[in-house]
Amino acid sequence: AASCRDLLARWPNHALWSEARALLPRVAMARAEAEMREKRWDGAVAAFRSGLEEFPADGDAPLARLRLGDALKEKGDRVRAMEEWRLVPAKHPEDPRAATAWKRVADLLAGDAGDLPAAIREYEGLAARYGGTPEGQEARRILGEMKGKFLEAALDSPLTTDRKPRVRLRLRNVERLRMKAYRLDLAEFVRTKGSLQGAEAVVTDVVKPDADWVWQPESYEDFRLLERTCEVPVKGPGAWILRAQDEELSATILVLSTDLGVVVKRSPGQTLVFVQDERTGAPAPGAAVLLADGTRAGATGEDGVWIGPALGGGILAGKDGSLAFAGGPTGPSTSFGYSPKVYLFTDRPLYRPGQDAALKGFARRVEGGAYLCREGEKVGLTVEDPRGTTVLAKEVRTDRFGGFETAVPVTPGAPLGSWRVTAAYADRTFATTFEVREFRKPEVEIDLRGDRPTWLAGEEVKASVTVRYGAGGLVRNAPLRWRVGRQGFSFDGSDLASFASWFRDPAREAER
């Protein structure tokens, strides 16, 4: 930098004067980035500020201001960091870094600052101004998550009978839940189904619940993803289907309370079952070993082990009212709540300029844990071309099947590339894309064929080429240019293992 400045001062008419002048902003940026790499935030802030003051009109000024905000954030000065980031779209609205800086503001508000309403306003502004950029599209996705409802229930396992079961709930925009617990005959269910798979889907609507209560999360806040625990008021060993519901969402999990744990090891000739007391970790002697069909196979010894013949299917262990199923849930059991959806599609994935695209869709709301279609629902549609220009913005209403359709104008001079369709419904956004491409019919078709499918190393490869016009007829006396390349090749030899016994056959050994 000193050499460049010396040249500029002493030889203003030097042939390299312009090049030296152009190097100064690059040098200033490099110095500031060096401070960032060394995590010297004060030095980085000073270097970026100095560069911006000296070269405010430089092409990298938006990047320098973006990085200045990054340095201030690392320094812990969130307010000034957001001030610098906001200046990027304000001073350089057409620069590619403008959307990045705007998203930095929204992400900081949603994260470290914890101001979710302000974050939503920033994401909305970003999506409206730079909707065609990756940052704008990500802002739409985040808005859908933050404004939409979400529910997830998980249960830590095993849960022993000396304490009431507790479930972990992750939820957003859910102020209260109706909780219902239904006792499940575990042995009968396994006998019928052969496993615990699908226990959460058991129909409970016509059965009176064993427990029914309303639960509200502490310190509720709109838009924030909360993590809370809820105690299930049931007693003793057993299994329950727990359903958590609000007006739109439903999450169901299997709650298993037992003092037993079971491990099954199978070999070609025998089955080993080990049962232990989950409260003490000691072996569980005298535990009944049951097959999935309810047949008693035996009981464990003092070491908690039962060894018997080879058995297939599920195996249960029972003692003092507790049951455990081998292959049952051993970790958190999670169910995701339903949320409104819009399914978007076009009649074909590719269009030519001048061909309007036929857009169709279906909207589904959630009520009582089920998807429903409603007539007259409003869906906001926006279509943007590859340049981010809004081509279509309209509101449609669903028919009695929850469907809707519209035509998307694609003019003869429309830009080529990927067009984005966004649907706004129930405070969420959904998107799909279609392509606009020019199509040219091939002028000629080339058919290349070898005289056989494979050759060995060292053999001469013979091939024939036939060239035809796209409209028909052979192309004669046209020059051809050949290019021969080489690429790696491998094959899957796993099937060859089935022939191993043939090579080890004693009779064949004798023949050799």
Residue 265: CATH number of its domain: 2.60.40
CATH code of 473's domain: 2.60.40.1930
Higher-scoring residue by pLDDT: 100, 131: 100
Model confidence at 206, in pLDDT bands (50, 70, 90)?
low
Q: Which among 326, 360, 376 is the end of a domain?
A: 326
CB of 104 closer than 8 Å to CB of 135: no
pLDDT at 332: 44
pLDDT of residue 328 exceeding 80: no
Residue 299 lies in a domain: yes
Is the same domain home to 23 and 94?
Answer: yes
Q: Which among 238, 257, 276 is the end of a domain?
A: 257
pLDDT of residue 453 exceeding 90: no
Residue 339 has a CB neighbour count (10 Å cut-off) of 19
pLDDT at 337: 59
pLDDT of residue 464 exceeding 50: yes
Name the nearest CA neighbour of 174 among 108, 222, 230: 222
Is the same domain home to 165 and 252?
Answer: yes
pLDDT of residue 18 exceeding 70: no
Residue 314 lies in a domain: yes
CB of 104 closer than 8 Å to CB of 85: yes
Q: How far apart are CA 316 and CA 292, in angstroms?
A: 7
Is the same domain home to 239 and 265?
Answer: no
The alpha carbon of residue 99 and the mean position of all alpha carbons in its chain are separated, in whole angstroms, by 23
Higher-scoring residue by pLDDT: 494, 415: 415
CB of 71 closer than 8 Å to CB of 84: no
Is the same domain home to 13 and 137?
Answer: yes
Q: Please give the residue range of the domain that contains residue 360.
A: 336-511
Q: Which residues contact 167 (CB under 8 A, 6 or more apart)?
A: 153, 154, 155, 229, 230, 232, 242, 244, 253, 255
SS3 labels along 229-282? EEECCCCCCEEEEEEEECCCCEEEEEEEECCEEEEEEECCCEEEEEEEECCCCC
Q: Which among 270, 303, 326 is the end of a domain?
A: 326
pLDDT at 512: 46
Q: Which residues contact 488 (CB under 8 A, 6 or more apart)?
A: none
Name the nearest CA neighbour of 105 among 90, 125, 130, 86: 86
Q: Which residues contact 260 (CB under 8 A, 6 or more apart)?
A: 275, 276, 277, 278, 284, 287, 317, 318, 319, 322, 323, 324
Q: Which residues contact 361 (CB under 8 A, 6 or more apart)?
A: 342, 343, 344, 345, 379, 403, 404, 405, 423
CB of 143 closer than 8 Å to CB of 126: no
CB of 47 closer than 8 Å to CB of 32: yes
Q: Which residues pair with 26 in a beta bridge?
A: none
Is the same domain home to 466 and 354?
Answer: yes
Residue 305 lies in a domain: yes
Look up residue 43 and give its two tokens.
Answer: 């030095």
Mean pLDDT of the chain: 84
Is the same domain home to 162 and 137?
Answer: no
pLDDT at 19: 61
pLDDT at 177: 94
Is the same domain home to 504 and 372?
Answer: yes
Residue 18 lies in a domain: yes
pLDDT of residue 254 exceeding 70: yes
Residue 298 lies in a domain: yes
Distances (CA, A) of 439 to 354, 416, 419, 420, 436: 12, 11, 17, 20, 10
Q: Any idea which of 8-12, 248-252, 417-421 has the lowest mean pLDDT?
A: 8-12
CATH code of 72's domain: 1.25.40.10
Q: How many CA atoms lie within 13 A of 439 on its CB side?
A: 9
pLDDT at 488: 67
Higher-scoring residue by pLDDT: 267, 72: 72
Q: How far apart are CA 159 and CA 142, in angstroms?
A: 36
Residue 368 lies in a domain: yes
Is the same domain home to 77 and 186?
Answer: no
Express as a percent the part of the chain with pLDDT over 70.
Answer: 84
Is the same domain home to 6 and 143?
Answer: yes
Is the same domain home to 221 and 294?
Answer: no
Q: How far apart are CA 162 and CA 436, in angstroms?
A: 65
Q: How far apart are CA 358 and CA 360, in angstroms?
A: 7
Residue 331 lies in a domain: no
Q: Which residues contact 114 (CB under 8 A, 6 or more apart)?
A: none
Q: How many CA atoms lie within 13 A of 36 on its CB side?
A: 19
Residues 248-252 have a mean pLDDT of 83
Is the same domain home to 312 and 344?
Answer: no
Q: How far apart are CA 455 and CA 478, in angstroms?
A: 29
Q: How many independent structural domains does the chain possess? A: 4
pLDDT at 472: 80
pLDDT at 426: 84
Model confidence at 90, in pLDDT bands (50, 70, 90)?
very high
Residues 112-131 have a mean pLDDT of 91
Residue 295 lies in a domain: yes
Name the nearest CA neighbour of 369 among 177, 146, 199, 172: 177
Is the same domain home to 347 and 491?
Answer: yes
* Overall residue count recorded for the chain in this entry: 512
